[in-house]
Structure 1
């Protein structure tokens, strides 16, 4: 069921502490941790504690949690000191866009020149 922890979800298991991660921030509704395969000098994932498979379903099912993820992305950027130079927040949705874990999450990327994508 949407919003409920899924036993086979890697990120749900990180939320519960069953699987370790390098956590950089936690709130009542989110967890932020370093990506294990970083694509930029700063690459942190911000996830909601509730399970939704992607950003669109999170926004539709729990708009407050979606807002919390975006707010925390900004807090992570400030904490990592990339807010002044610029950073990117990316939500990959679906396998064709590169989503490999089907638990909504934002990538916070920064710390260097990033190629224009659009």
Structure 2
């Protein structure tokens, strides 16, 4: 019985794949929708940020560090600072939003606009950022657990090209995240 169900599912999967590869079927409105129309607002923002990314231009985080933009800073030392995310609900679907959401950012980018650009010289800073993440998570009452997320590049929905860690918790988080 199980083998028959498995054969039916496999057959259905093969038929679906051949339909998707068929040019006549692809012209159907479901397949013909432009990629941009299928993107979420977060994905569109990440694509726009990637297109405008400039390693030398000041980011919103640089302006927060320079105290040009007011922010709710919850931790600061000589290497980094932690601040509450100004729009945690807007950055995540309601089922994925967390009651506690803060960011940890390095004070000096030093070429570290995204994690995939990390070099040997960044190892100590990266370790410090993670240490501060857990320190502030404890301060915020997240001892039962929390999630650390680093978005990298357009497909990772990175919206600010200044490395930053998202720390989220305060409720049971689900998996997969998105």
Normalising by structure 2, we get a TM-score of: 0.59
Larger helix share, 1 or 2: 2
What is the CA–CA distance in structure 1 between the aligned matches of 2:64 and 2:77, rounded to whole Å? 14
**SS of residue in 2 equivalent to 1:109:** strand
2:83 corresponds to: 33
Could you tell me whether the CA contact under 8 Å between 1:55 and 1:66 is conserved in 2? no
**SS of residue in 1 equivalent to 2:58:** coil
Give unpaired runs (5+ residues) of structure 1.
none
Q: How does 1:20-99 map to 2 (within 5 A)?
A: 20-38=70-88, 39-51=97-109, 52-58=112-118, 60-83=120-143, 85-99=144-158
Q: How does 1:105-116 map to 2 (within 5 A)?
A: 105-116=164-175
Could you tell me whether the CA contact under 8 Å between 1:30 and 1:47 is conserved in 2? yes
**SS of residue in 2 equivalent to 1:21:** coil
2:33 corresponds to: none
What is the CA–CA distance in structure 1 between the aligned matches of 2:154 and 2:56, rounded to whole Å? 19
Q: Tell me the C-alpha RMSD between the 2 structures.
A: 1.7
| Post-superposition offset of 1:7 | 4.4
Could you tell me whether the CA contact under 8 Å between 1:58 and 1:65 is conserved in 2? no
What is the CA–CA distance in structure 2 between the aligned matches of 1:32 and 1:73, rounded to whole Å? 8
Between Structure 1 and Structure 2, how many residues are aligned?
113
Larger strand share, 1 or 2: 1
What is the CA–CA distance in structure 2 between the aligned matches of 1:60 and 1:92, rounded to whole Å? 20
What is the CA–CA distance in structure 2 between the aligned matches of 1:24 and 1:82, rounded to whole Å? 14
| Post-superposition offset of 1:35 | 0.4
**Partner of residue 11 from structure 1, selected from 47, 50, 61:** 61
Give unpaired runs (5+ residues) of structure 2.
1-54, 89-96
| Post-superposition offset of 1:56 | 3.0
